[in-house]
Amino acid sequence: IQMLQRIGRYEILERIAAGGQGTVYRARDTSLDRVVAIKVLDQPVTDDPQYLNALQREFRLAASLDHPNVITVYDFQVEDGTAYIVMEYVPDSLNRQFRAEQPLPYQRAVEVAIEVCRGLAHAHQNGAVHRDIKPQNILLTGEGTAKVSDFGIARALASSIQSRTTRTMGTSWYMSPEQWGGSRVDGRADLYSLGILLYEMLSGLPPFQGESMEALFVQHRESPVPTLPRNLGVPA
C-alpha cells in the first residue's frame, strides 16, 4: 500500500498507527516548521453534511481544551472529501506499554490514572465528554506524562450516515452500559471506562472477556468486576 506523501500543507514523515477510526501519521507542518500528528479519518464526509458539522463542532470543543494531560489540537481540514485533524505529536501510547498481557507496576498504573483523571476533569468542566477512553487514546510523552487524545471523534462518527443506525459510541471492552444503547451520556461514562482501563493496567487484561459484543454487554451490565489476582501484589 502506497503511503500518503502529503496532505494540505503537511508533509507526511511516517505512519505511526491505524485503527477503526482512521490512520495517524507523523508529519511536518511546512508553514510553521514543526512536527505534528495527523489523524486522517476513514469515514468520508462527502454527501454527509451532518457528519461534517458534527466533526467541526467536536473539533472546536477539543481545540478549546488547554491542559497538560490533554492533547493539544491545532487544526481541522477537509481535502477531497477526507477529513483530518492536526494535533501535537506525542511519541508513545499506553497500548504499546502492554506486552504479552503483562501489567504495569501498580505505582505507574496509579500515576497514569491520576493524570488521565486530571485531563478528564478539565474536559468535563468545559463540556467535553470523550466517550472512548481506551489504551490507544492515552498518549505518553518522552517524560512519561499521560495525555488524553481523540476527544469527540466517537460522538462525531455516530452522526455519520453509515453509523446512524447503531449510535454506539465507544469500544466494547471499555464502554459503560449506558453507551451500548445510544443513551445520553455524561462524564461518568468516561470515569467508568477509566476504571476498566485501570484494572487492565493493574492486571494486564480488561476485566470482561466476552466472546461477542452481546456477551460483553451482559458482563458490563450484570457482572461484578473480578478480584485482582493476589500474586500481582497490588495493595488494597
Q: How confident is the model at residue 155 (pLDDT cuts 50, 70, 90)?
A: confident
Residue 158, pLDDT above cutoff 50: yes
Average the pLDDT over 86-99 and give the result: 90
pLDDT, residue 168, reads: 55
State whether residue 218 is helix, strand or coil. helix
The proportion of the chain whose per-residue pLDDT surpasses 70, expressed as a percent, equals 93
The proportion of the chain whose per-residue pLDDT surpasses 90, expressed as a percent, equals 68
Backbone angles phi, psi at 99, to 5 degrees: -120, 115
CA neighbor of 38 nearest in space, from 67, 3, 2, 66? 3
Average the pLDDT over 178-205 and give the result: 91
Active-site residue, 80 included = no
**pTM of the predicted structure, to 2 decimals:** 0.90
Residue 51: CA count within 13 A, CB half-sphere: 22
Q: Which residue has the higher pLDDT, 106 or 43?
A: 106
Q: How confident is the model at residue 165 (pLDDT cuts 50, 70, 90)?
A: very low
- Which one is catalytic: 29, 33, 132, 186? 132
Alpha-carbon distance of 177 to 40, in angstroms, equals 29
pLDDT in tens, 8-21: 999 999 999 887 78
Q: How confident is the model at residue 161 (pLDDT cuts 50, 70, 90)?
A: low
pLDDT in tens, 110-144: 999 999 999 999 999 999 999 999 999 999 999 99
pLDDT, residue 162, reads: 63
If you average pLDDT over every residue of the chain, what do you get?
A: 89
Classify residue 137 by its DSSP letter. Answer: G
Q: How confident is the model at residue 157 (pLDDT cuts 50, 70, 90)?
A: confident
Helices (H), the chain: 49-63, 106-125, 153-157, 177-180, 187-203, 213-222
Average the pLDDT over 138-167 and give the result: 80
